[in-house]
Structure 1
Amino acid sequence: MNTVSGFYLKEYAQSLDRDDPLKAYRDEFYTKPGSIYLDGNSLGLLSKRAEKSLLNTLNDWKTYGIDGWTQGSNPWFYLSEKMGALSAPLVGASSPDEVIVTGSTTVNLHQLLATFYKPKGDRKKILADELTFPSDIYAMHSQLEMHGYDKTNLVQVKSRDGRFLEEDDIIDQMTEEIALIILPTVLYRSGQILDMERLTAEAHERGIIIGFDGCHSVGAIPHYFGEWGVDFAYWCNYKHLNGGPGSVGGLYVNSRHFGRSPGLAGWFGSDKNKQFDMEHLLTPAQNAGAYQIGTPHVLSIAPLIGSLEMFGEAGIDRIRQKSLQINEYLMNLISFELGNMGFFIGNPREDSRRGAHISLEHKEAARICKALKANGIVPDFRAPNIIRLAPVALYTAYTDVWEAVQILKKIMIEKEYENFKNERDVVA
């Protein structure tokens, strides 16, 4: 979107809303009157379809009891595989069999590390980065320790500026000591998209397996894991995919790895036809289903039935197009309205390198976030100085963005933020 004369006027935002091809989906979500929700990159809002699919699943439990595993609107025994098939287009899997909805982000990472981290000789180190989400680092430390190695065997690529990572710096660390690479698709603070295709090709050229954490990208940007040859990936479904708090996660395993025994075995990783044979020798499924561990959390999967149906209709390409447009509009407004108030836009400006949220830096960020909430705007704070703002393509209007910036401007002019402490809440 080019900066257009009058873009700072509300009438311009209203014209964008009239022309929005995804505007009908806004009515599919429960939005709070008098509030503007800009935290969909932490927890997506509830949709009416997700609510309906959850209630349908409860009704199946009420109606069928244990027979709900094979009967009802969505039999539970195959639910993880069905949701995996609906997720496959969002990650660019070559086959629906490469995706399964199971576990949680960290549980799935542990499973994938246990499966693919095979230190041998000098190749015993894991390569990650210093800006990734801490839970991933905890899991990697844990897996290293279980193999008898200390934390010095986790190599973390440094950021040159504290915001971004340079692919050249990552590639420079792909030495003969590296056994496995784990990187984010999108950095959770700055919103930078890493060049996954290039990094995968460089890793494979050096004989290194590479996997990605897609928590801040799946449901917001297109992926092509199959085409790129990515070995594996994992993500949550409660952010951009609106699966609800504690929603079951997802994982992808490239089909060339099918047949590899899961590092953490459990009965739901069985071949479906043999699962109830009750043998003490596991026969793993010959697809991503092998990496399931325990019984699916059916009621936490259920909202995804409705949500993923909606994503299939809207299409990830159209979602990405609106996301780019509405975020550029937000950045233009910030620059115009808040340009002399101490803010810095700390996310990439280029479309190809920017995820689905704006990283707005300010020395009073924690106080400003609290003031925003007191004024009906829901942002997200990340220490030490980042206000994350995430307009969501399916339910955020351009007029929401316009109003949020006007309220932020008022907060700064009237110094309302000084009424709050500049420290994060328990949950941030």
Structure 2
Amino acid sequence: MREYETSLEFAKKKDQEDVLKNIRDRFCMKEGEIYMDGNSLGLCSKDAKEALYHVVDLWEQHGIKIWDIEDSRYFKYQNVLGEKLAKLINAEPDEVTVMTNTTINIHQGISTFYQPTPERYKILVDDLNFPTDRYAVDSQVRLKGLDPKDAVKVISSTDGRFLSEDAIIEGMTEDVALVLLPSVLYRSAQLLDMERITEEAHKRGIIIGWDLCHSIGAIPHDFKKINPDFAVWCNYKYLSAGPGAIAGFYINQKHFTKEPGLAGWHGNKNETQFQLRHVFDHELNAHGWQTGTQPLFSMAPLEGVLNIYLEAGMENVRHKSLDITAYLMFLIEEKLTKYGYKIGNPREDHKRGGHVCLEHDDAYRICKALKQHKVIPDFREPNVIRLAPVALYVSYEDVYNLVQILEDIVVSKEYEDYSEVRTLVV
């Protein structure tokens, strides 16, 4: 049972006891800024910068010979990064690779596994997932000559916040061929029971893929237990690999002999790749789902920050994440609910991800006011202020000060000075 206090001294005491406190200095913090948007774009780290600059220097020194140095390390860089990422989700090293972006990787997964028949042709999704997942699903259905209105089965939320795992499982009828779901909902931070849902899908002969965008780097998944067919994720949120960083892709080793839906020359076996045959010689591991030449400058920062995560340990990251978000919720209840603020995420540890969903009728204008106080949150329609106290670089004192500012903004009605007109990036 966690016990918290409302004083600044308590926050400072928690920071002194934090086993990750020294890692904060390895991130590029701005003086006086409280960064609460790591669930959308993680902060730059010194390790990521050094890794990127190192690769730039190698390019300068070696030109095209960069592909051959260090036993072809950078030609096979996806293997290096895949092995490091695999440790975060307890997968085999050759089950994980990095490539393209999340949306293209969804296309890759679905095009590989979605082979509809007259009896089994539907893809099951939910109505709370990030829209890009649905766009990709609908596109893949159309490519098979089917109508998304018929072939895409949507499990709807009853409250606009959470999904029912029972409803998802009940929706796995005999006409469902594939399931694609988020591990953590981007608005409400609900963490689904991936192991249970995956097991139920497999009992029914259904392929299942997971979108880990809002859990990778915040939650230590165990893919040897969960045993999904494929998974995708971005690396620029909690993992702080940089804006638009290269994305992650997992495929279960039991599917290595399956032909990739989208084939490209970097998915060819290394031994025959430069024989430049017109017949695809598929690499029989996750790297066989590669397509084009890898972007080293997008990959290098990921290596730098993964070294931080592996040093910190995902169990330590999750422990602090749960504790500091619980502390934030405690302060919200003690100080803010009387001003119209509400908590819109699950309270139980096993049901929530790494961010807190603070709801308010004037959430958008409050977000604008927060930024004037050097607090960086983000807003999601219709009324959610997302706050992510990322374990590696957000302190308990940051959380304490955040709550003070949230209180001041509403008490003074400062938010009324801001327009409700949405900007391009909210």
Distance 1:73 1:281, change over 3 A: closer
- Let me know the Cα RMSD of the aligned residues: 1.0
Gap runs ≥5 in structure 1: none
Count of residues in correspondence between the two structures: 425
Task: Name the CA distance, whole Å, in 2 between partners of 1:246 and 1:2.
Answer: 37
Task: Name the CA distance, whole Å, in 2 between partners of 1:2 and 1:315.
Answer: 22
- Are residue 110 (structure 1) and residue 87 (structure 2) matched? no
Among 336, 343, 348, the alignment partner of 1:338 is 336
- Are residue 30 (structure 1) and residue 28 (structure 2) matched? yes
User: Deviations along 1:39-97, whole A, 9 cap, x unmatched?
Assistant: 0000000000000000000000001111111215983211011100000011121x100
Match of 2:345, SS state, is coil
Q: 1:34: Cα distance to partner?
A: 1.5
Q: What is the aligned-residue identity percentage? A: 50
Q: Give the structure 1 partner of residue 93 of structure 2.
A: 96
Match of 1:250, SS state, is strand
Q: 1:160: Cα distance to partner?
A: 1.3
Q: Give the structure 2 partner of residue 165 of structure 1.
A: 163
Gap runs ≥5 in structure 2: none
Among 156, 174, 194, the alignment partner of 2:172 is 174
Match of 2:112, SS state, is helix
Match of 1:13, SS state, is helix
Match of 1:223, SS state, is coil
Task: Name the CA distance, whole Å, in 1 between partners of 2:274 and 2:261.
Answer: 21
Q: Give the structure 2 partner of residue 86 of structure 1.
A: 84
Task: Name the CA distance, whole Å, in 1 between partners of 2:71 and 2:323.
Answer: 38
Q: Give the structure 2 partner of residue 2 of structure 1.
A: 2
Match of 1:303, SS state, is helix
Q: 1:3: Cα distance to partner?
A: 3.0
Match of 2:382, SS state, is coil
Q: Give the structure 1 partner of residue 65 of structure 2.
A: 67
Distance 1:321 1:274, change over 3 A: same
Task: Name the CA distance, whole Å, in 2 between partners of 1:73 and 1:339.
Answer: 59
Q: Contact between 1:128 and 1:181, CA under 8 Å: does it hold in 2? A: yes
Match of 1:89, SS state, is helix
Q: Give the structure 1 partner of residue 142 of structure 2.
A: 145
Distance 1:74 1:279, change over 3 A: closer
Task: Name the CA distance, whole Å, in 2 between partners of 1:305 and 1:206.
Answer: 38
Match of 2:118, SS state, is coil
- TM normalised by structure 1 equals 0.98
Letter in 2 for 1:3: E
Q: 1:224: Cα distance to partner?
A: 1.2
Q: 1:272: Cα distance to partner?
A: 1.2
Q: Contact between 1:57 and 1:74, CA under 8 Å: does it hold in 2? A: no
Q: 1:228: Cα distance to partner?
A: 1.8
Task: Name the CA distance, whole Å, in 1 between partners of 2:19 and 2:3.
Answer: 20
Q: 1:2: Cα distance to partner?
A: 2.1
State how 1:389-428 maps to structure 2 within 5 Å. 389-428=387-426
Q: 1:103: Cα distance to partner?
A: 1.1
Q: Contact between 1:50 and 1:307, CA under 8 Å: does it hold in 2? A: yes
Q: Contact between 1:365 and 1:422, CA under 8 Å: does it hold in 2? A: no
Distance 1:50 1:74, change over 3 A: farther
Match of 1:340, SS state, is helix
Match of 2:75, SS state, is helix
Letter in 2 for 1:415: K
Which structure 1 residue ranges, 4+ long, deviate > 3 Å from structure 2? none
Among 215, 222, 237, the alignment partner of 2:213 is 215
Q: Give the structure 2 partner of residue 376 of structure 1.
A: 374
Among 110, 126, 130, the alignment partner of 1:133 is 130
Q: Give the structure 2 partner of residue 260 of structure 1.
A: 258
- TM normalised by structure 2 equals 0.98
Q: 1:307: Cα distance to partner?
A: 0.5
Letter in 2 for 1:188: Y
User: Deviations along 1:299-337, whole A, 9 cap, x unmatched?
Assistant: 001101111111111111100000000000000011111
Match of 2:337, SS state, is coil
Among 174, 193, 197, the alignment partner of 1:199 is 197
Task: Name the CA distance, whole Å, in 1 between partners of 2:420 and 2:360.
Answer: 11
Q: Give the structure 2 partner of residue 320 of structure 1.
A: 318
